[in-house]
Amino acid sequence: MTTVTPVTPVTPIAVRSATKATYVAFIGSGFAFASWASRIPQVRDHLALDPATLGLVLLALAAGSLLALPISGSVVTRIGSSRTVMAMAVLLGVGLVTAGLGSLSGVVPVVIGLVLLGFAHGAWDVGMNVQGTVVERHLGRSIMSRFHAGFSLGTVAGALLGAAAIALNVPVAAHLTVVALLVVASVVRQARRFIADQDQPAPGEDTGAPRVSALTAWREPRTLLIGVFVLAFSFAEGVGNDWISIAAIDGHHVSAVLGTLAFAGFLTAMTIGRWFGPGLLDRYGRTAVVRVLAAIGIAGVALFVFGPSLAYAYAGTLLWGLGASLGFPVGMSAGGDDPRRAAARVSVIASIGYCAFLGGPPTIGLLGDHFTVLRALTVVAVLLGLAALIADAVHPAPAAHSASTTGINRAHDSRAASPNDEAAVLQR
């Protein structure tokens, strides 16, 4: 069962270039974000910030994202995903440099830099996810989750480079400035190769259907349900990122090293799920796959929280990571089913989903004060159950199948890319 529908084709070379460029955008986003995160302890120490003040400083990052996400759909609709990602890459670079230099002078420039970084990251996220849905439609296959796996690989690379910079005593400002230059140069160059967000109409095809604004998309029941679906999976992902190590150390009484290994297992399973997920999505369809993964995630959380031994807990982290792997990318794909409405819908879905990354840590923290952090993680299983119940929302929308017969025939007669095109891109 195919979850995406071929559309009016563009040249195979253009699709291959856009696929590679989209990978670069996802990897670059993760690389930049993790590069900053890897230097937070040094910024804290240099500015002598206590935990409460550091929390307020880091809130600037979330504030920037919250400012960007509601308006990013309109921005992408107006100027396109290519220009949006290029502009946000430059702005993100400015934010990184400002935060890095601010670590030498005071809190205020760091906060300004983080607001810019958060704003750029939020709008960039919507732009690259819109382009991901465009590439999917032209390939006629589900590969969005692989783009998100690219983001995960970017975070790993950024964290490793950060660790090396710390070991070599590279100043924060120098490190983040170099990262900014690398990200801006590579992403801006590649984003020029994005495919146009909307396809050129086939001869005789009706082009009178109106676009929708981001505000209109906020009133669409399906879009809102997909947003809740993404929120549930994002909560499972975000809580795993923030709390697995702590829960393993405090709840299962393991060493810090073993707690970190539990977290590493979670990330590894998530990356594997995202890389190999497209074949399952194309064969069995979005709804069936995400329901099975939600069940796997629930089982993983249960094993991690209630498992009678450490081995069960480690198995639980693997199942939890695998179960949470495809929710966010599938939601993005579902939001982009109709190319005329993709930017607005992806913006709304991302805005709702990102609430989980903001609300997850304090929710678990508050519940942990009453029931222990380990027991508080059962909330993840409840939300994954909710996601399974509303998973019908991510089934391809009728608009995704409404292409004209001429357009579909041309897509089949002159496919924009063969099933092996993505592999060819990765081998380059």
Domains of the chain, residue spans:
1-193, 215-396
Give 409-423 pLDDT, tens digit per residue.
333 333 434 444 444
> Residue 281: what pLDDT?
93
**10 Å Cβ neighbour count for 87?**
18
CATH assignment, 215-396: 1.20.1250.20
> Residue 117: what pLDDT?
93
> Residue 371: what pLDDT?
82
Give 326-368 pLDDT, tens digit per residue.
999 999 889 888 877 887 888 889 888 888 877 776 777 788 8
> Residue 51: what pLDDT?
66
The domain 1-193 is placed in CATH, from the list 3.40.50.800, 1.10.3720.10, 3.30.360.10, 1.20.1250.20, at: 1.20.1250.20
> Residue 65: what pLDDT?
84
Q: Which residues of the chain fall short of a pLDDT of 70?
A: 1-9, 51-52, 55, 199-214, 361, 398-428
Calculate what percentage of the chain has a pLDDT beyond 90: 41
**pTM across the whole model:** 0.76
> Residue 394: what pLDDT?
94
**10 Å Cβ neighbour count for 275?**
18
Identical fold at 1-193 and 215-396? yes
> Residue 407: what pLDDT?
35
